[in-house]
Every structure is written in structure tokens, then in C-alpha cells.
Amino acid sequence: MGNRVITISREFGSGGRTIGRKVAQKLGIPCYDSELIQKIAQESGFAETYIKDAGEYAPGGFLASAFGNRSFGPTNEDYLWNIQYQIIEELAEKGPCVIVGRCADYILQDKADCLKVFIHASMEFRAERIVREYGEREVSPEQRLKDKDKRRAAYHRFYTNMKWGRAQNYHITLDSGELGIDKCVDLITELY
Amino acid sequence: MGNRVITISREFGSGGRTIGRKVAQKLGIPCYDSELIQKIAQESGFAETYIKDAGEYAPGGFLASAFGNRSFGPTNEDYLWNIQYQIIEELAEKGPCVIVGRCADYILQDKADCLKVFIHASMEFRAERIVREYGEREVSPEQRLKDKDKRRAAYHRFYTNMKWGRAQNYHITLDSGELGIDKCVDLITELY
């Protein structure tokens, strides 16, 4: 057992990233999310936007290329997965921290003393929240949520063979819409 | 929204029933589990043991008769389900309480202000616990756990069409093995 690390998986729009940041702030430890993506970008030489897309965003991105090209050997996504894997291991070795997303719970399962958290919320709560946080899009917020959840679940399943959002995979799962962001922060901090 | 009710679903051996009782004790409200089964028994005229068996215990019981006889109309299990449904509604109307198992989360979803909890734990933790609590059996504890989980999941799925153990169905899910029974009691009590 290495350092104590909090890993947060989350549904898009549930406030998981905000919760991660607030928990880290309260505990006085670092929180890695977009910083982690930047670090991957620097080490891989890939443009930051591309990596963000490859992970889960681009239309057809991860799913199309991962399943489409695999018969020809490792894809760009496999390459990124390996770099990301190493970086997450290094971050966890460096000291206690919060890591949001990126399958960190799976990557660190035997390497760090993890508190594994999953944050979710109702479609209504998340739809309202993503429009407020990220603005309107041509596509409806509900459709954006469905697409994003599907990609995250597929990405997680593909690389970890674990089912995303299955209670048994986490130490605690919380409905941020019903309980409130700040209550979630309190509970996680209390458990750390 | 009626009374505030805590519903606890749980994996066999995870200590969900103990947690329910302790939470109820701390909050000074009643906890229904075996009492509920007795109440069903009295109202239905069925022997208590039989009902316990029909719910989830008997070898082949619920699964065999539910799926086997359905084409000939409602089964005994359907009859029990309806009685149980009414009793749970009545209990929730009577006042704040904790209800362990029996799909109460589903039954009360639009009728009470529920805090929906799911308790789970690793196979090792539960195996050790059921031997201590319920004694040795001919069948290995691991096999007993697998059988029981399978029956609970099938029962839940059949009557509620909801997936048992899916984080999104609950406000909070907790790993009682990793967090400890008493910590779970504290967290649930704090959220009430």
C-alpha cells in the first residue's frame, strides 16, 4: 500500500470534477484532471486537444478508431492509454492526491491505498448543469449526456474490463443531485 | 412526499441488516426486516418459513416457480409480492422508518421521501461474516453467497425491472467491508 489516493469516476455533468477539486482543497492535497491531460500531452508530444478528443470526446473518435483499427495493431488510443497509465502510477507514488477520471481506480488498484468514489446524478440535474457550465450546443443536453456516458462506459469497459457505475467497484457512490455537491465533499473528506 | 424512509438493499453477508438496525436505533425510528416478513405471514395466512423460502431462499424456489408457472397465471410469489407491496406502503405511511430489503426502494419511489442505500462488500469479507453469523453449511460460504446474490438480483429484476447494485439506482452505496459497519451507520445517519 502506497500513498492514500482518492479516485473519482463520474457521470458527465454530475459535478464529479468540482467535488474532486473541493475535496483536494479541503485536504490540502493536489487534484489531477485537466492537469493530467496536459502532462500526458507534454510527454506524448500529441496536441492537447487531440488527446482530449481521443480519450472520449471526438465524434466517433475513441470508439471508431479503437474498434476499427485494432486488427492492425495498437491504436493511438492504446498508445495514450499506456502513457496515461504510467503517469497515474507516478502521480500516486509522488504523494496523496485526488485523481478524477481516466480509469485511475483500475490503474491503481494494487498500487495505492485508494478510496474509490463514483458520482452520478439524474438526467435533469445534469442537463441543467452542463448548460450552465458549458453553455448551449446544437445538440440537446440530454443527447450530449447520453453520448458522453456511452463513450465513458465503453472506454472504461474496453481498457479495464470492469463495468462502469457498478456499485461493487467502488467504496462509495453518491448521487450529487439528491445529496448536493457540498454534502458529497463532506462525506468523502470524512472518509479519507 | 410522505414520511422520511431509509431503504437498504444489500448483498447477503454485507451487514446491511445490522446497519439498518443500528441506524434506526440511533435515529429512534423502527426498522422493518424479519418483522415485516412476520406481518406478511399474518396477513397472508402463509406459514412464515414458507414465505421466507418463496422470497428468495428455497432451492429453486422463487426462480423455478416464478418462471415455471407464470404461463398459468399469478404464482404464489406474485400473490406475496402484492401483499408485501401493500404492507410496505402502509409502513411508510405510518411514520419514518428503516426498511431492509424487499424492494422497498422501488415500491416507495413515488410515495415517500426515501434515502436509498445499497450495501455491498467483498466475497472474502462476506464469506467470513456469514460463517460467523449463521454457522457452517455443507455448501461452501462462497457458493452460498453466489447463489443468494443471484436470487436477490433475479427477484429484484423480475419485480422491479431495475438492475440490483447499479449505483445510479441509489442515493448512496457503501462497501461495508472496506469502510466498516459503524462508519456506514454514521454516514447514513448523517445523511438522514
* CB proximity B190 to A under 8 Å: yes
pLDDT tens, residue by residue, A80-103: 788 888 888 888 998 999 999 888
CA distance A97 to A20: 10
Give the one of B165, B170, B187 whose C-beta lies nearest to A168's C-beta.
B165
**Who has greater pLDDT, A188 or B136?**
A188
* Residue B130 clears pLDDT 70, i.e. is over it: yes
Burial class for A47, CB neighbours closer than 10 Å (0-12, 13-18, 19+):
exposed
Q: What gap in Å lies between CA B4 and CA B26, rounded to an integer?
A: 15
- Pick the range with the lowest mean pLDDT from A49-63, A118-132, B4-18, B142-156: A49-63
Q: What is the pLDDT of residue A59?
A: 43
Helix (H, G, I), strand (E, B) or coil at B22: helix
Residue A57 CB-density burial (10 A; 0-12 exposed, 13-18 middle, 19+ buried): middle
Contacts of B36 (CB under 8 A, 6+ apart): B84, B87, B88, B91, B99, B102
Q: What is the pLDDT of residue B59?
A: 42
Q: Regarding beta strands A97-100 and A31-32, do their DSSP bridges make them parallel or antiparallel, or are they unpaired?
A: parallel
Which three cell numbers mark A132? 450552465
The HSE-up count of residue A44 (CA atoms within 13 Å, CB side) is: 26
Enumerate the β-bridge partners of residue A72.
none
Domains of chain B and any CATH numbers = 4-191 (3.40.50.300)
Inspect the interface and report whether the beta carbons of A191 and B179 lie closer than 8 Å: yes
Sheet holding A4-10, edge to edge: A31-32, A97-100, A4-10, A113-120, A172-175, B172-175, B113-120, B4-10, B97-100, B31-32
Bigger pLDDT: A162 vs A13: A13
| Threshold 0.90, pTM exceeds | no
What's the pLDDT score for residue B61?
47
Specify the pLDDT at position A186. Answer: 97
Cβ contacts (< 8 Å) between A175 and chain B: which residues?
A: 168, 170-172
- For residue B37, is pLDDT > 80? no
B101 vs B58: which has the higher pLDDT: B101
Q: What is the ipTM of this complex?
A: 0.81
Task: State residue B1's pLDDT score.
Answer: 46
For the stretch A50-77, pLDDT in tens is 555 555 544 444 555 555 555 566 777 7
The pLDDT tens digits of the residues spanning B138-173 come to: 889 999 999 998 988 898 888 888 888 899 999 999
Q: How far apart are CA A54 and CA B28, in angstroms?
A: 53
Residue B55: pLDDT over 70: no
CA distance B8 to chain A (A): 14
pLDDT of res. A45: 64
Query: Which residue of B lies nearest to A122 if distances are taken between CA atoms?
Result: B168
Residues of B in contact with A168 (CB under 8 A): 11, 120, 165, 175
Top mean-pLDDT range of A20-24, A145-149, B52-56: A20-24
Whether the CB of A120 is below 8 Å from some CB of chain B: the reply is yes
